[in-house]
Amino acid sequence: MPLDPFFDERLRLHRKYLFDQALSTVRTRLATLTRFLRTPSAPVEGTPAEAPVARPDRAERAAKAQASAALGPRARARARHRRSALAWDRSELRTVGTPGPEVRTVEHQVEVPGHPTVRVRIYYPDVVGHAPVPAVLAFFGGAFRIGGIDYPTTDAAFRRRTVDAHVAVAAVDYSLAPEHRYPVQVEQAYAALLWLFGNAPELAIDPMRIGVLGISAGGNIAATVALMNRDRAGLPLRLQILEVPVVDLTGHHLDLRAVRGLGIPRPLALRELRSVALTYLPHPDDGLEPYASPLRAASHEGLPPAVILTAEYDPLRGDGDAYGYALRRAGVDASVVRYQGVTHDVAIFTAALPAARRWHDDVVAALRRLHA
């Protein structure tokens, strides 16, 4: 069906963003080439430059500028991009999102052997007495390089799902790429899973009613955790909910018919999608590994039941379709639902888009299966 009119202005801004990104890449490469070709001037002997004395009120700014320069142009650009993304997310919640209700939250630091410690925030529903509740280990989206559990729309969604589904949401603040690349994120996720099961009684969580959930890049991590658990620990994982997941980082299951309907040139769309894998993976060939691309696992037998949600105007719809088929072929109870007329980020717009509210309701219905 045609794209919902709600997305008209957003699509215009997204096209502009893609063109600006492509232009920025060209400018960066030209600047690098210019610096390479430029011959540095030699110092004149006997005339050492005197170091300027910074005034006290400028010392702090000078130190910050020096630290910023030491990061390099790519790191500075990445920092700017993340600040902009956070500001945009804050605006999205205010204008088209739904604030989250007040719930009790507790934060923990989970040790990860050989990798950075990861923060896990647990959102608790109201309970009568001290009965343990079902829980879902949740992973945010953001192309592996932006996002986090502190992003306003992410935090609000976890809060609303906690209350409406009456399950605890254990949100994992995994490390971002390219500062940390695969397999750091999936090892952090797996460590969080082991920790959640191992400490379930103290956390007031029922270890027999635990699932995983992830959106976009987080869907990749959630699917991978299910695979790792099957291969390594065999814990009684009950459910996996995958929202617009990317499950094949080789790109072989991208459905570019989706971007044709958005009027985005194929080269720009491919450039953006490929950059996700290049940012996350140490080497492109790593995308062939099943813990990077869970669709490429030799077998999908023995995995928990799956609920997969995709969007019509999202090239990752091909990943979701293919993964659902692979699971069903392996005898796994799996369903795939495609939402018509919407884009990859549909779940955010609960205050403005009926499809987003239905998306929330369907995720809540899937989470309630943990109560069985």
CA dihedral angle for residue 26, residue 27, residue 31, residue 33, rounded to 10 degrees = 20
Say if CB 265 and CB 243 are below 8 A apart: no
Helix orientation angle between 217-228 and 184-198, rounded to the nearest 10 degrees: 60
Which residue in 253, 300, 344, 360 is the catalytic one? Answer: 344
In whole angstroms, give the CA distance from residue 125 to residue 203: 13
In whole angstroms, give the CA distance from residue 146 to residue 62: 28
- Quickly count: other Cβ atoms within 10 Å of residue 252's Cβ: 13
What residues are paired with 154 via a beta bridge? Answer: none
In whole angstroms, give the CA distance from residue 186 to residue 220: 9
In whole angstroms, give the CA distance from residue 291 to residue 302: 16
Tokens of 243: 């929202």
Q: Is 41 a catalytic residue?
A: no
In whole angstroms, give the CA distance from residue 161 to residue 159: 5
Of 365, 157, 123, 107, nearest to 241 by C-alpha is 365
| φ, ψ for residue 229, nearest 5 deg | -65, -40
Which residue in 89, 173, 175, 216 is the catalytic one? Answer: 216
Of 248, 370, 220, nearest to 308 by C-alpha is 220
Side chain identity, residue 175: S
For the chain, the straight-line distance linking the first and the last C-alpha, in angstroms and rounded, comes to 36
Q: Is 299 a catalytic residue?
A: no
Tokens of 362: 């369907």
Say if CB 348 and CB 10 are below 8 A apart: no
Helix orientation angle between 73-96 and 56-71, rounded to the nearest 10 degrees: 100
- Greatest alpha-carbon span in the chain: 83
CA dihedral angle for residue 174, residue 176, residue 179, residue 181, rounded to 10 degrees = 70
Which residue in 89, 248, 286, 314 is the catalytic one? Answer: 314
Q: Is 361 a catalytic residue?
A: no
In whole angstroms, give the CA distance from residue 152 to residue 89: 6
Return the active site residues: 216, 314, 344
